[in-house]
Structure 1
Amino acid sequence: MAESVGRTPAAWPDRVWRKARWALLSVLLLSFVTTLLHVVPAHGSTHALVTDIRAGRTHTVQTDAQGRVVTVRWNTGLLDDHSYVYRPTSFVAGTHEADLDLRATVDRAAGASARSVRFSEYDATYGAGGLSLLFPVGYVLLVPWTWLRLLVMSTGVVVLIRMITARRHRLATGPAWVLAALVTGAGFVGYLWVESGQQRSPAKAPHRRGAWLASLASAASTAALAATVLLAAGRL
């Protein structure tokens, strides 16, 4: 009896983790899919933009003028973003003139409906991923909803705490998992998938390489998921 009681403090965190990790994994996958659909908008056109303006489906148009072209973006609903590159049909002197040409074209085509539209500038590079392309964990800054962004950040903190404090790991050591997760981003998903809290055989001690292999496998899996989602959404 004394031996059983002595093992209880070390066992209950693992039992909780085995159930909680699926909820944490669901949060990360949900945020990944929503961010993907936000970052990769559906293909649009001036005609489609004018149609949405006339129908009252959008009241804000974002523009990013670079040189003599303008990247145009607007939203018509939940994760229903559209974007295209506007090229003036006549000669324009520079960036500012290209933006003015776009607005004039939309105003003429939309008529009175254009009065309810607000144009604003945005950075198309940030919208396409920005620094998260170099530092994958930075994708959390692109999560479209504040409540989900906070939930993802909280999930990341919980997983990091688990990596550091867990008494046992199956595939890699805690510090190796922390490094792989922060560098690749996909390491968080890999950890939640493979580190179930089950005790590993002493003959198979965890090593550093396991965290990186799991992270790479998770990155490949999320890439396949991304392609499937974009294909289903008609954005490939």
Structure 2
Amino acid sequence: MKIKTTVIITFMLAYSTIAQSQVIISLLFGDKLNSEKLNFGLLVGNSWAHLSDYKTSSSLSNFNLGLYLSLKMSERFFLQFDAMAKYRLGSKGLPVYNLNDVPLDTLFATGHVKRELNYLGLVTTAQYRAFNYFNIEAGPQIILRTKAKDIFYTDRNNGTLNFEKDISDAATRFDIGAMTGISYQIKGNGVKIGVRYYFGFIDIFPQDAGSNTNRSFQLGAYIPVGRKKALAKKQQAENKQGK
């Protein structure tokens, strides 16, 4: 029991460190990774996820956080790489199932299950600027599952009763799929906003009936860090050369 508790605490500290490190890296090196052809910064947003063959479920809302690096290949063609440190998929409103525990099964008989899948991931998209500052994009996503759990919940007179069950052994370690979407880059400050849809290819719970693949609608903002400073340095250098 002590070993399990230690492992959980270590994982939580490591996970928190990764997310905080992303912010620190972007603040320290943002101006060095931004230029006319490079755009680097923070990715923040929200997603609404569900699992394909759980027909009675509803979307699970989550906050996502990561870093992105965009490369300008030509006037209309870009490549973007997103490193996701806080990325959750899953579903909620699933029907309860037997826990083989009479008291728990009785307590949650009229409740539901929220299935949470935590991931680290890499998204690579090719982006084409169709007109003005609107882009269409598509590419692969590869993600590594770090945690999986079912949260049983039911409403009581004095609040909501919850019970968490680790289901990591039932879920696949990796997921691979396709990401597609559109985005708009705000002229001047480099901030970009976009919507995306993720279509997973892998059955995440192969022991369950049907093909339970990840689906996710995502709304995100791409915020460059240090871009203005980097362009100002470039302008100063050009001015010095012109004298």
Larger radius of gyration: 1
Q: Please classify the TM superposition score into its range, dividing by the shorter chain length.
A: under 0.3
Which has more strand, going by share of residues?
2
Which has more helix, going by share of residues?
1
Q: TM-score, normalised by structure 1?
A: 0.27
